[in-house]
Amino acid sequence: MKSPLRSSIAAAAALLLAVGVGACGDSAEPGADSGQPAGDATAVVTETTDAGAANASKVPADTLVHVSIGEPESLDPAWTYETTGSMFEMNLYDSLVFYNREKYDAFIPVLATEWQTSEDGLTYTFNIRDGVTFHAGGTLEPHDIAYSLQRAMLQDRVDGPMALYLEPVLGTSSLMGEALGRANVTKEGATLADVPADVSIALCEEVMAAVTADDAAKTVTIKLKTATPWFMQLLAQPWGGAMDQEWMVEQGDWDGKCKNDAGEATWTAWNGPDAQESKLFEVANGTGPYKLESWKHGQEIVLVANESYWRTEPMWEGGPSGPPALKRVVFQKVDEWPTRLAKLQAGEADVVDVPRDQVTAVEDMVSVTYNGGDAMAPSTPGAADGILQAFVGYPLAQMTAAMFTFDIAKDSPFIGSGQLGDGIPTDFFTDLDVRQGFNYCFDWETMIRDGLQGEAVRARGPIIAGLAGFSDTSPVYMLDPDKCGEHLAKAWGGQVGEKGFKMTLAYNEGNEARRTAAEILAANVATVSDKYVIEVQSLEWATFLEARRLEQLPISISGWSADYMDASNWVHPFMHSAGAYGRAQSFPADMQAGFDALIDQGVTEADPAKRAEIYAQLQQQAYDNAIDIFLYQATGRHYQRKELKGWFANPLIPEEYYYGLSKQP
């Protein structure tokens, strides 16, 4: 029986699809931040062509070359919270279930052959598949899956994805915060080392008790504290990818225990690692359709087909089964668009990410345009000798925003002297007039028209169209240079107007839409006063993400991609103290307390009407406090060679699911 909350999610999802827009973890960050953030880029696929030698493919028929911007931060599924990394992990690892093609709220069996959910929605029991082997040769057993989920939650790195599991399982957003709270440790800079062993061990044991395996019965059971209608959507993401426990322990990873024989808490040694500290940083041993062959950092990642892949039946009608059709996938990191275009024209690439403002460069190559997310959508013919198919206008669960940091790190290289005039103070954006002034200096019309070819709508807050709390009549800031000037002139008691300021606004290299947004803001602020200087700078994707985590960026232009379809997955990352973006923005304590209380209330409220009211309040508060410049929600645009088959759009699948693709003459 559907709960009222589940029914409201289904209704919201239907509306999202009806309006045809979405909002990205940036991966990225599922949920997550994305190297191909928030609809900012489109994909182009080529292959052998009869349209002339200039476009003839030089790529073997069983190989896919994907030329893109950025690269993963890590290949550890529990660590990754950005779409480029998640894309690889979704091809390297299997989870219990997967999405039923384009349907993000319907699931197919993967490592689980079937499952049952208790009447109260708190207990999930999965029957685990026989005959599955890991890439390194081990045999999958239920305890491997339980270990993988436990390890993921216990790792719980800062700004990672594990709050999504910890909230329904333990009722907390952070193991660190929960442990410190239980131990009443309040000193600044406290870590798990400051938590008494009995408290730390008890917390670990709660995680272990929530996810259990029975190898004899071939089952895995997950127990929640709070009914979570979107929990299956989370399990379909790569964070639940199965690992070989014995192999992991051999590599020096977590040993599956909370304490040692002396009664000391040992699990904490694996909590919150830096990216390169993870044993799976650049190593993979999953059960997925592809194996990792190599990763040359800053250059390319190579995957090869898992010829022992277990699947014997098609994933869905017409879907893939058995070993992958594409035997080799080469992902090349090329941040410069002219070079990517040259590779496409020379036949040296199969998939090339195209900036939205550069789509005319491939327009004459399109033979047919599908107005939707697969080849079953209504179509319009194009060039008779075209070699590409285009898919346009399909919904994306993505949104991009420019986020203010209220407490910038003192060692930030982006704030000049740290004083007004030739820099900005670390608390520059705590002044509401500064934030409102910056909002009034942004030009959404130009951004959408020129930067996104008109294929987007402006965002109206953290919650995207189609979800509870969104209204197309809610208040928004509009470009108004006079108001921009008025607010900035009186900011900081008039000091901003008197002294001016200078700061650097960074974006991730290769993301042309974000570059456009940064340059629009910088140019408009400069027209208000020549004392107001914003310099625009590009950063490598991994460098950009690290600078944001360290709170060094005065403004962070990033996208969010849904982890699951519900308004809670938008207000939490943008506004909650444990959110992927909210934490790094460091909102004032009183403002943060109000946000957190409403967000937590929204998650537990079962009445759809009351939930909508809560999320509408949060949307309004985001506007009143001008916490961000909420930029745009783009619709999807994807290109591929006519011969490439199997592509489809699913708003929760990060970028390319290589296993579903094949080349056919």
Position 49 pLDDT exceeds 80: no
| Same domain? 57 vs 118 | no
Residue 70: per-residue pLDDT: 87
Same domain? For 116 and 182 the reply is: yes
Mean predicted confidence (pLDDT) in 66-94: 94
> Whole-angstrom distance between the N-terminal and C-terminal Cα of the chain?
47
Out of 48-62, 151-165, 207-221, 282-296, least confident range? 48-62
**Could you report the per-residue pLDDT of 354-403, keeping only the tens digit for each?**
888 889 998 998 899 999 999 999 999 999 988 888 899 998 899 999 99
User: What integer pLDDT is reported at residue 347 of this predicted model?
Assistant: 84
Same structural domain, 60 and 98: no
| Per-residue model confidence (pLDDT) at position 510 | 87
426-434, Cβ contacts within 8 angstroms, sequence gap of 24 or more: 428/501, 428/503, 428/554, 429/404, 429/405, 429/554, 430/406, 430/588, 431/491, 431/492, 431/496, 432/625, 432/626, 433/487, 433/488, 433/490, 433/491, 433/492, 433/496, 434/487, 434/488, 434/491, 434/492, 434/496
Q: Tell me, yes or no, whether 339 and 387 share the same domain.
A: yes
Lowest mean pLDDT among 499-503, 510-514, 517-521, 564-568: 510-514
The CATH number linked to 224 is 3.90.76.10
Q: Do 44 and 96 sit in the same domain of this protein? A: no
Burial 565-590 (b: 16+ CB within 10 A, else e): bbbbbbbbbbbbbbbbbbbbbbbeee
In which element (H, E) is residue 488 found?
helix 481-490
Which pLDDT score, from 0 to 100, does residue 283 have? 97
Q: Do 525 and 519 touch, CB atoms closer than 8 A?
A: no
Using 50, 70 and 90 to split pLDDT, how confident is the model at 639? confident
In a domain, 123, yes or no: yes
What does the H/E/C string look like for 387-443? CEEEEEEECCCEEEEEEECCCCCCCCCCCECCCECCECCCCHHHCHHHHHHHHHCCC
Q: Please check whether residues 291 and 233 belong to one and the same domain.
A: no
Strand partners, 303: 292, 329
pLDDT recorded at residue 624? 98
Closest CA to 496 of 481, 483, 485: 485
Is 197 within a domain?
A: yes
**Count of domains for the chain:** 2
The reported pLDDT for the residue numbered 42 is 43
As to burial, measured by CB atoms within 10 angstroms (0-12 exposed, 13-18 middle, 19+ buried), residue 488 is: buried
Looking at the chain, the whole-number percentage of residues with pLDDT higher than 70 is: 92
- Can you give the pLDDT at residue 643? 82
pLDDT of residue 54: 55
pLDDT exceeds cutoff 70 at 220? yes
Question: Token pair of 276, please?
Answer: 């390169």
Query: How far, in whole angstroms, is CA 457 from its chain's centroid?
Result: 20
pLDDT at 119 over 60: yes
Per the CB < 8 A criterion, the answer to whether 127 and 114 are in contact is yes
Same domain, yes or no, for 344 and 380? yes
pLDDT at res. 517: 96
Which residue did the predictor score with more confidence, 3 or 102? 102
Tokens, residue 87: 């894309």
Beta strand 351-355 with 63-68: parallel, antiparallel or unpaired? Answer: parallel
User: What is the DSSP code string of 13-58?
Assistant: HHHHHHHT-----------SB-SSGGG-EEEEE----SS-GGG---
Question: What is the average pLDDT across 22-31?
Answer: 38
578 domain residue, yes or no: no
- pLDDT confidence band for 573 (50 / 70 / 90): very high
> Is the CB of residue 347 less than 8 Å from the CB of residue 341?
no
Q: Quick one: pLDDT at residue 522?
A: 98
**Hey, CA dihedral for 455, 459, 460, 465, is it positive or negative?**
positive
Q: What's the pLDDT tens digit per position in 251-287?
A: 999 999 999 999 999 999 999 999 999 999 999 999 9
Number of Cβ atoms within 10 Å of the Cβ of 614: 23
pLDDT higher at 502 or 39: 502
* pLDDT reported for residue 95: 98
How confident is the model over 279-319, as pLDDT tens digits?
A: 999 999 999 999 999 999 999 999 999 999 999 999 999 99
450, 515 Cβ separation under 8 angstroms = no
Does residue 379 share a domain with residue 266? no
Q: Is residue 13 over pLDDT 60?
A: no
Residues 123, 221: one domain?
Answer: yes
**Mean pLDDT of the region 136-140:** 97
- What is the per-residue pLDDT for 5? 38
If you write DSSP's letter for every residue of 226-256 in order, what string do you get?
S--TTHHHHHTSGGG----HHHHHHTT---S
Q: What does the alpha-carbon distance between residue 558 and residue 401 come to, in Å, rounded to a whole number?
A: 6
Closest CA to 152 of 227, 242, 71: 242
Query: Quick one: pLDDT at residue 352?
Result: 84
Q: Indicate the pTM of the whole model.
A: 0.85
Alpha-helix residue ranges (DSSP H) falling in 116-244: 142-155, 163-170, 175-182, 197-210, 231-235
**Res. 334 pLDDT band, cuts 50 70 90:** very high
- Residues 327, 380 share a domain: yes
Residue span of the structural domain in which 56 resides: 39-72+283-306+321-396+637-663
Question: How would residue 188 be classed by pLDDT, with cut points 50, 70 and 90?
Answer: confident
Kindly tell me if the per-residue pLDDT of 14 is higher than 70: no
Minimum mean pLDDT among 182-196, 207-221, 343-357, 602-616: which range? 343-357
89 and 184 inside one domain: yes
Q: With residue 370 as reference, give the H or E element that holds it.
A: strand 366-370
Residue 325: per-residue pLDDT: 97
Provide the pLDDT for residue 45: 42
pLDDT at 25 over 70: no
- Confidence label for 169 from pLDDT (cuts 50, 70 and 90): very high
Highest mean pLDDT: which range of 43-57, 126-140, 503-517: 126-140
Residue count (the chain) = 665
Count of CB atoms situated within 10 Å of the CB of 415: 24
In a domain, 19, yes or no: no
CB 203 within 8 Å of CB 175: yes
Does the residue 4 lie in any domain? no
Q: What is the pLDDT of residue 33?
A: 52
Whether residue 416 is contained in a domain is answered as: no
Residue 164 lies in a domain: yes
CATH number of the structural domain spanning residue 296: 3.40.190.10
Q: What is the pLDDT of residues 647-659, one digit of tens each?
A: 999 999 988 899 9
Do 68 and 151 belong to one domain?
no
| Residue 432 included in any domain | no
